[in-house]
Amino acid sequence: MNKKDDNLIKKIIEGYNKINSDSFTLTRIVILSLLTYFRDGLQFRELKNLLKISDGKLISNINKLNKMGYLIKEKITLDNKNLDIYIITENGKHELEKIKEFNNRINEMLVEFNER
């Protein structure tokens, strides 16, 4: 390995150490990504339909993200109906950004090694 490889690997390890490992599951990353895209939030059934996962798997992931402070549940009234929607928090956006940066470093390393 050369100096450039050492620096890239060091950046990957630094990025890894910054990420909350409890947030780093594919389902949780996708939930955070969807809530970033749908800024007004999503209902449970909307998340379930998008992710195609069971109620139990979704609620356990939502509860974990909520406990970590990455999303909140808000009650709203729409057309005289009370609805619960899930919204990403600033902490959730920050964590998702760290995950994206980590992923970019991994991709950079793979490109570097594949070009050899």
* pLDDT, tens only, 28-49: 999 999 999 999 999 999 999 9
> Which sign, positive or negative, has the C-alpha torsion 17, 24, 39, 84?
negative
pLDDT range class, residue 1, cuts 50, 70, 90 = low
Q: Regarding predicted confidence, which is higher, 83 or 102?
A: 83
The H or E element containing residue 108 is helix 90-114
Residue 19 has pLDDT above 80, yes or no: no
Distance of CA 68 to the CA centre of its chain: 12
CATH, domain 3-114, list 3.30.70.141, 1.25.50.20, 3.40.1410.10, 1.10.10.10: 1.10.10.10
What is the residue extent of each domain of the chain?
3-114
